[in-house]
Amino acid sequence: MPAVQAYRTIIVLDIEQYGRGGRDDRVRVELRRILRAATAETLAGADVPAGAWSASSTGDGLLVLVDPAVAAASVLGGVLDRLPAALTAHNRSATGPAQIRVRAVLHAGHIMLDDQGATGEQLNLAFRLLDSDGLRARLRAVTGPLVVGVSEDIYRQVVTQRPLGLDPATFAPVEVAVKEVRASVWVHHSNADGAPGGHDLADVAPPQAGHEPLAVPAPSQLPAPPPHFTGREEERRALDRLPAEADAAVRRMLDWYLASADAADRAVMPHRWRPVRACATPPQPPQPAPFDGAAAALEWLERERLNLLAAVAEAARRRWHPTAWQLVDAMWSLFLYHKHYREWVACHRTGIDSARLDGSRQAEALLSGHLGLAFHGLEDFGQAHQCFGRAAAMYRATGDRHGEASALSGLGLALHRLGRTGEAIEHFGKAAAIQRELQDRRGEALTLADLGRAHSDAGRPGEATGHLLHARAVFASLPDPYNQARTVAALAQTQAEHGQLGTALGHLEQAMTALRDVGSPYEQAQVLELLGDALRRLGDEAAGDHYHRHALALYQVVASPRARRLDARLRPARGNRQG
């Protein structure tokens, strides 16, 4: 398996004093088993699918990698709520050296995966945080079985958003200086009974001798608050201003996220058709985050994904509906390249509601089409057809010919996958005619690429090849490397299905190189699956199996339904290897 970059939530766990005297090898083996079982129980209780995570031993602990389709907040909530209880349950029936105490760190980022496992700078950071003296000291200071730390990124992007009732006040920063790392780990404690809590008894100073503990009045004994503020007039006015100032601060933050996300989306997809303004202009326009090219912009969108989702929800909650739907639209390149299907669907439903409440039919149509593509990727083609149909009707009602063509092409996609190839080709033809009339070269190329795939499936390789070559030339001239690579892969699939395996392999390798540069794991998986198919047809079962296993790993990263089908295909091969 060639090395591939992938985004993961990272959990690293370490058993305290694993090698201490009094623990023989049998006890150490049992402690490792207990830690793995407690981790599996924790993730299952947090509704993390069994196929969405992997664990590998680090000798005295575990490295757990969780697919990005699973929200980091869910993973963190499970670790804080369930892992202490699982460890405590073991400790109640164990004594002395057989009892277990654990340090754990949560982080997230891009790592490299290959046949040897995982590596990368983000893994190094997680292990450095885990090895810090500060985290070790925190575990020594508490009586519970677990201390959990989170990286600065997790604290800022997850904890501060208060998901699942998390309170940022229960985390405290500890400085880390281990080897090359200078950072902070935000530590959350577990209490002695395994229940999560912000502080441990060790953090509370005992009363000094000779001092009685303070008497705490019952709520009924407390005086009623004054009916209004009675302090100085200047202070009263300051308090009166606080709500408005808080609203203004939130508005500035959301405006900055909108401006930055829009700038990032334009850096990733400069040729994308934008029929509506993706960024409103506030009275004092914020300075968006700077990006050094498309890759840096896409990385920023991924890194800020949770903050952007929170911004959409907050804008909708405050009824700032133009901001809400424009934020959703500005995240389009992130969803298109990295999928995140569950977030894609939920976010676009919020955006569609906000567009409707804002009275923007054009925005509602645009986001309905994007939602249709999410359902298409999830292989819910009936839902996809409905979304594209609604988009087409709204575009016609507003007289938006660009949008109507895009929605007709989407309907063609859904009809094609529903087995109605003739109708699909008809819709693609109508869309291409409108785009040609409007001189929308990129839109026409997108439609011709889809039309080529439909003709290929209908057994018309000549027509398919003509459409695909035309689309490839347009994408190369723009340039649009993402769609050019997708079109080259479709051309290779047509060639392979009609016996031109050598030519197909060359095109697939070309597409794979481009897609690695772009950073789109789903399309990489499609190409790897096609490479595996072609090599199997050439009689190289081992190489074909190798590429298929690599494709399966990437399909699982984006939680694509294709993972289940490919996994079913690979089971006989796995059985033969084991036999």
In Å, what is the CA distance from 357 to each residue of 319, 323, 347, 386, 513? 9, 12, 15, 21, 44
Indicate where the chain has its CATH 1.25.40.10 domain(s): 249-519
> Above 70 in pLDDT, residue 220?
no
pLDDT at position 507 is 95
Please tell me which of 68-82, 289-303, 391-405, 511-525 the model is most confident about, judged by mean pLDDT.
391-405
Segment 157-191, tens digit of pLDDT:
888 887 777 778 888 888 888 777 788 899 986 44
> Above 90 in pLDDT, residue 213?
no
pLDDT at position 182 is 83
> Above 70 in pLDDT, residue 60?
yes
> Above 50 in pLDDT, residue 195?
no
Return phi, psi of residue 8, to 5°: -140, 150
Q: What is the mean predicted confidence (pLDDT) over 413-436?
A: 95
Other CB atoms within 10 Å distance of the CB of residue 490? 25
In percent, the amount of the chain with pLDDT more than 70 equals 87
pLDDT band at 201 (very low <50, low <70, confident <90, very high): very low
pLDDT at position 55 is 92
pLDDT at position 10 is 96
Segment 542-553, tens digit of pLDDT:
899 989 988 888
In whole angstroms, give the CA distance from residue 50 to residue 109.
Answer: 21
Q: What is the mean predicted confidence (pLDDT) over 33-61?
A: 90
In sequence order, the β-bridge partners of residue 114 are: 117
Q: Which CATH architecture has domain 249-519?
A: Alpha Horseshoe (1.25)
In whole angstroms, give the CA distance from residue 458 to residue 437.
Answer: 27
Average pLDDT over the chain, rounded to whole?
85
Indicate where the chain has its CATH 3.30.70.1230 domain(s): 4-200
pLDDT at position 573 is 61
| CA nearest to 188, candidates 76, 58, 89, 273 | 76
In Å, what is the CA distance from 418 to each residue of 368, 383, 384, 423, 526? 19, 11, 10, 10, 20
In whole angstroms, give the CA distance from residue 528 to residue 516.
Answer: 12
> What's the pTM value of the predicted model, to 2 decimals?
0.59
pLDDT at position 217 is 36
> Above 60 in pLDDT, residue 241?
no
> Which listed CATH number (3.30.70.1230, 3.20.20.60, 3.20.20.70, 2.60.40.2130) goes with 4-200?
3.30.70.1230
End-to-end CA distance of the chain: 22
DSSP string, 347-379: HHHHHHHHHHHHT-HHHHHHHHHHHHHHHHHTT
pLDDT band at 193 (very low <50, low <70, confident <90, very high): very low
Q: What is the mean predicted confidence (pLDDT) over 93-103?
A: 86
> Above 80 in pLDDT, residue 345?
yes
In whole angstroms, give the CA distance from residue 102 to residue 38.
Answer: 11
In whole angstroms, give the CA distance from residue 272 to residue 255.
Answer: 22
pLDDT band at 90 (very low <50, low <70, confident <90, very high): confident
pLDDT band at 94 (very low <50, low <70, confident <90, very high): confident
> Above 90 in pLDDT, residue 574?
no
Helix (H, G, I), strand (E, B) or coil at 464: helix
In whole angstroms, give the CA distance from residue 86 to residue 101.
Answer: 11
Contact call for residues 33 and 304 (beta carbons, < 8 A)? no
pLDDT at position 240 is 54
pLDDT at position 550 is 87
In sequence order, the β-bridge partners of residue 118 are: 113
Contact call for residues 532 and 545 (beta carbons, < 8 A)? yes
> Above 70 in pLDDT, residue 478?
yes
Q: Which two tokens stand for residue 250?
A: 């939130």
> Above 80 in pLDDT, residue 327?
yes
The residue whose two tokens read 């490792």 is 32
Contact call for residues 448 and 467 (beta carbons, < 8 A)? yes
Which helix (H) or strand (E) covers residue 318, if one does? none
pLDDT band at 200 (very low <50, low <70, confident <90, very high): very low
In whole angstroms, give the CA distance from residue 374 to residue 250.
Answer: 30
> Above 50 in pLDDT, residue 225?
no
pLDDT at position 243 is 60
In Å, what is the CA distance from 71 to each residue of 10, 52, 166? 12, 11, 14
